[in-house]
Structure 1
Amino acid sequence: MNKLSIEKRAMILTMLVEGSSMRSVSRIADVSINTVTKLLVDAGIVCAEYQNEHLLNIKSKRVQCDEIWSFCYSKEKNVSPEDKGILGHGDVYTWTAIDADTKLAISWLVGRRDYEYAEEFIGDLASRLSDRIQLTSDGYGCYINAVEKMFGGMVDYAMLVKIYGEENKSQKRYSPASFVSSERRVMAGNPDMDYVSTSYVERNNLTMRMGMRRFTRLTNGFSKKIENLAHAVALHFMHYNFVRIHKTLKTSPAMAAGVTNTLWSMNDVVALIDAKEELKDRSRGKYKTRI
């Protein structure tokens, strides 16, 4: 079977995390769209597995949480009646948690914006931390019980509730409602009110929209399958955490957080894919010694 070189596959993955669409990547790299899709799937799987195994015992002090909207298959208003309520048809939210100091993306989850997913997301975040933290979220009510249940009171938690004015109906699609004020609310423990903020995680939302074509608003670059959206998010955070140098930190978030002591490249991500494929081949007996 023909296989693209490590450099070619690294180039394709780099274009994907820099905001290019899959079809534009296939044209520039002169490969089929199926090749790009398969590489995204393979990369997404290994990136999710690697970060799930290594983003543990994170020594964090302050964490910010948020949710970012996208959609799969079609806009929510255009979902057919028989597909209503099925995850992967209509609105999809990605929950994210960012360390305020190292900017490390500690946890994320692709799914619905409801209590079930809030609980799963907060539970995963809590399991990856080594010490008590100060947590800040927006005013979404599902966080309250989820944080109480998953942290068991061992957290200093505050909400930053933002208040917006009336929407400009003539510019509703392009301009958000004007910001009026914000309110800091203590929800658990004793959070330092000077650090109650969601600025870093909201800035990360912009990074996600710029780095993943399927998150760009008002385009046809949306995800057709929720599985591919999840793979794209895993690849994005692998690049963000391990490969990309943060302009403020002058190093990668993973290095700043002590998760790794080396700066990765996309070639290293491709090496993870090859290692997984080799392991599969060995388990199938492809490399057994002939007698």
Structure 2
Amino acid sequence: MNKLPQAKRTQILAMLCEGSSMRSISRIADVSINTVSKLLIEAGEACLALHDEHVRNVKASRIQCDEIWSFCYAKQKNVADAKSAPSGAGDVWTWTAIDSDTKLMVSYFVGDRGAESAMILMDDLRDRLANRVQLTTDGHKAYLEAVEGAFGADVDYAQLVKLYGGEGGKGPEVRYSPAECTGIKKRRVEGNPDIAHVSTSHVERMNLSIRMQNRRFTRLTNAFSKKLDNHIHALALYFAFYNFCRIHKTLRVTPAMAAGITDRLWSLDDIVAKIDELAPAPAKRGPYKKRVK
């Protein structure tokens, strides 16, 4: 079985993590687009396994959660008229939970913006934490039942509700600019959260990083995901790279090192090693038989 050299694979993964498009990677690395796509799938599965294996028993004090929008194949309003829309086409929401102190991405989930997706995120977050935390979300109603179902009373939970004013004007700038935030409300929901630390600033900054470094999130282009599985794999690769391989400029270590779940700086070679570990063993070939004419 043909296999790319390790240096070539790490080069491709590095470009994927830095927001390069798959076709530009295929041109720069001098490989086919199918090779890049196949490596993304393999890396995504490896990174999902690495996150599930290593991001456990996280000792945190403050967790912030949010969700970021994107779409697959077509925007939700256009799916009905889209030609041959695959399963998973339409709006896609990435739910995230980040540790405010170590900036570790503790949990994430790709789904819709409904209550079931919120419950999946919170159940996964609860299973990865080692202690009681202060939790902050925005005012999205789906969080209320999800947090109650996952944590019960064993959490200090508050919501930060943003108040928005009118958009003002009807020019094209309105379409691409959010409404002005005119104020916030901090609302205690469960336990005894410290109101001074009720914030979603860190997770919203993470949303910017996701959109800046994932080509699939670039607005007003045709770089959006065409398959939901590839979207999930690209995010899994990015979050593994963010947690384990990239030094945070403020912390001077990786988030995983700051959180104490690893004691060394990982590289993309570790992800390639996990890909090889998960690869199925090559099938044995049968005995060669000479063809008789």
Aligned twin of 1:62: 62
Deviation at 1:90, TM superposition (A): 1.0
Aligned twin of 1:7: 7
Deviation at 1:2, TM superposition (A): 2.3
- Report how many aligned residue pairs link the two structures: 283
Partner of 2:144, secondary structure, is helix
Deviation at 1:172, TM superposition (A): 2.6
Give the counterpart letter for 2:254 in structure 1.
S
Aligned twin of 1:273: 275
CA offsets, 1:234-288, max 9 Å, x none?
00000000000000000000000011111011111111111222xx207x568xx
Whether 2:100 is the aligned partner of 1:97: answer no
Contact map agreement 2:106 2:125 (CA 8 A) in 1 = yes
Aligned twin of 2:180: 178
CA distance in 1, matches of 2:120, 2:224: 25
**Counterparts in 2 of 1:128 and 1:285: CA distance versus 1, 3 Å:** farther
Partner of 2:281, secondary structure, is helix
Give the counterpart letter for 2:228 in structure 1.
I
- TM-score by length of structure 2 reads 0.93
CA distance in 2, matches of 1:46, 1:285: 24
CA distance in 2, matches of 1:151, 1:87: 32
CA distance in 2, matches of 1:244, 1:152: 35
CA distance in 1, matches of 2:284, 2:262: 33
CA distance in 1, matches of 2:114, 2:64: 18
Partner of 2:122, secondary structure, is helix
**Counterparts in 2 of 1:32 and 1:82: CA distance versus 1, 3 Å:** closer
Contact map agreement 2:74 2:82 (CA 8 A) in 1 = no
Aligned twin of 2:205: 203
- TM-score by length of structure 1 reads 0.93
Whether 2:240 is the aligned partner of 1:253: answer no
Aligned twin of 1:163: 163
Aligned twin of 1:126: 126
Whether 2:138 is the aligned partner of 1:143: answer no
Moved over 6 A (4+): none
Give the counterpart letter for 1:220 in structure 2.
N
**Counterparts in 2 of 1:213 and 1:52: CA distance versus 1, 3 Å:** same
**Counterparts in 2 of 1:255 and 1:136: CA distance versus 1, 3 Å:** same
Deviation at 1:194, TM superposition (A): 0.7
> What are structure 1's unaligned runs of at least 5 residues?
287-291
Structure 2 residue corresponding to 1:192, chosen from 191, 194, 210: 194
Partner of 1:281, secondary structure, is coil
Contact map agreement 2:61 2:133 (CA 8 A) in 1 = yes
Q: After the TM superposition, which residues 10-29 of structure 1 pair with which residues of structure 2 at under 5 Å, given as runs?
A: 10-29=10-29
Contact map agreement 1:87 1:111 (CA 8 A) in 2 = no
Whether 2:257 is the aligned partner of 1:239: answer no
> What are structure 2's unaligned runs of at least 5 residues?
286-293
CA distance in 2, matches of 1:217, 1:143: 27
Q: After the TM superposition, which residues 206-225 of structure 1 pair with which residues of structure 2 at under 5 Å, given as runs?
A: 206-225=208-227
Deviation at 1:87, TM superposition (A): 5.7
CA distance in 2, matches of 1:261, 1:223: 35
Give the counterpart letter for 2:73 in structure 1.
Y
Deviation at 1:152, TM superposition (A): 1.4
CA distance in 2, matches of 1:275, 1:140: 40
Partner of 2:250, secondary structure, is coil
CA distance in 2, matches of 1:167, 1:3: 54
Partner of 1:7, secondary structure, is helix
Partner of 1:205, secondary structure, is helix
CA distance in 1, matches of 2:29, 2:86: 35
CA offsets, 1:63-120, max 9 Å, x none?
000000000010112112699x986211100000000000000000000100011111
Aligned twin of 1:108: 108
Contact map agreement 1:87 1:112 (CA 8 A) in 2 = no
Give the counterpart letter for 2:192 in structure 1.
N
CA distance in 2, matches of 1:155, 1:259: 22
Question: Which structure's CA Rg is the greater one?
Answer: 2
Partner of 1:236, secondary structure, is helix
Contact map agreement 1:165 1:179 (CA 8 A) in 2 = yes
**Counterparts in 2 of 1:152 and 1:180: CA distance versus 1, 3 Å:** same
Deviation at 1:173, TM superposition (A): 2.8
CA distance in 2, matches of 1:219, 1:106: 30
